[in-house]
Amino acid sequence: MTVRLPLGNKRILVTRPRGQAAPFIDKIKAAGGIAYAVPLIAFRAVQAPNEAIVVSKLYTYDWIVLTSKNGVDFFFQQLEKMGVDRKRISARFVAIGTKTAAVLQEYGFQADYIPEKFSADQLAKEIELGLFQAQNVLIPKGNLARTTIAEALRKQGAQVEEWIVYETFFPKEEKSRLLQLLQSERLDVITFTSPSAVRHFMNAIEEANLSLSAVIACIGPVTEAVVKKFGLSVSICPEEYTIEALIEEMAQYFRKEEE
């Protein structure tokens, strides 16, 4: 008897960055799907104007807020580049999401606070409700990250320093690969896990004057909102902002379609 897999033969586009896509691709394949990887975003370190100030005050912060795996990696990379001994950090850490907390642990630190839902908006809400309180906070982040958390903390009287440690960009060599794939394959699902990937995708297909027929699946309300701003509908968006939940939601979607 042949076992029917939940994503059997579904063609799924993965737009995650190179180096972060493999676990997602593996899970798609395990569920019977066919994954096409075209990384629409990439990251690189940047030198921020305030980095000397941040480093001079590094040991005075009582909390450091890390919102993503990239934030963790580039934060510690920047410290190493500047010759800073991270073992001297006495601040406690906030991590948005268990995956971010797991990466933080690889650098020898524990997450002392993780918001109930894995988003900046949720953390801001918990700050406003008084569930999370701080006095002197550092937020290492990417150049496209919003100021939601910093604003919520400042409203509660905290001193906040935001430090841009990396920037997001569109790897141009992937543009032609994306367009070739869309023209040659009938995709069932296009997945997005960040607003930047959505923007880069839409810029490419609008320039090439291509239309879409695939189902759109995304993680998180911010990414979903960007998709909708482009006039597209989101068919799959799990309550939990994880790859595992996205796979399960895709499986449920196609089960209902076949009923």
User: Which residue, of 168, 189, 216, is where some domain finishes?
Assistant: 168
Q: What is the pLDDT of residue 1?
A: 43
For residues 48 and 164, state if they share a domain.
yes
Domain assignment present for 6: no
Backbone angles phi, psi at 161, to 5 degrees: -115, 125
Alpha-carbon gap, residue 162 to 72, rounded angstroms: 14
Question: Are the C-beta atoms of residues 12 and 34 closer than 8 Å to each other?
Answer: yes
C-beta separation of 161 from 54 below 8 A: yes
- Rounded to a whole number of angstroms, the distance between the first and last alpha carbons of the chain is 21
3 in any annotated domain: no
User: Are residues 180 and 141 part of one domain?
Assistant: no
In the DSSP assignment, the letter for residue 2 is: P
| Whether residue 200 is found in the same domain as residue 100 | no
Distance CA(31)–CA(8), nearest Å, equals 7
Is 79 a member of any domain? yes
Clarify whether residues 81 and 184 are in a common domain.
no
Give me the helices (H) in 159-218, please: 173-184, 195-207
Do 49 and 158 fall within a single domain? yes
Q: Are 158 and 181 part of one and the same domain?
A: no
> Where does a domain end: 151, 168, 185?
168
The reply to whether 174 and 111 lie within a common domain is: no
Please give the pLDDT value at position 3.
Answer: 59
Domain termination residue (choose one: 123, 145, 168)? 168
Domain tally, the chain: 2
Q: In what order do the strands lie in the sheet with 42-45?
A: 42-45, 159-169, 136-142, 63-66, 92-95, 111-113
Is 25 a domain residue? yes
Task: Please give the single-letter amino acid code of residue 245.
Answer: A
pTM above 0.85, yes or no: no
* CATH assignment at residue 205: 3.40.50.10090
- DSSP annotation of 239: S
Q: Give the per-residue pLDDT at 259.
A: 62
Model confidence pLDDT, tens digit, residues 187-228? 999 999 999 999 999 999 999 999 888 999 999 888 999 999
Residue 179, domain extent: 11-41+170-258
Specify whether 55 is located in the same domain as 18. Answer: no
Q: Does 51 lie in the same domain as 21?
A: no
Query: Do residues 127 and 163 both lie within one domain?
Result: yes
Q: Look up residue 43 and give its amino acid.
A: F
Residues 61, 112, 243, 74, Cα dihedral to 10°: 30
Question: Is residue 5 assigned to a domain?
Answer: no
**Same domain for 18 and 92?**
no
**What is the chain's pLDDT, residue by residue, as a tens digit (259 residues)?**
455 788 999 999 999 998 889 999 999 999 999 999 999 999 999 999 999 999 999 999 999 999 999 999 999 999 999 999 888 899 999 999 888 999 999 999 999 999 988 788 899 999 999 999 999 999 999 998 889 999 999 999 999 999 999 999 998 889 999 999 999 999 999 999 999 999 999 999 999 999 888 999 999 888 999 999 999 999 999 988 889 999 999 999 998 877 6
Run of H or E including 7: none
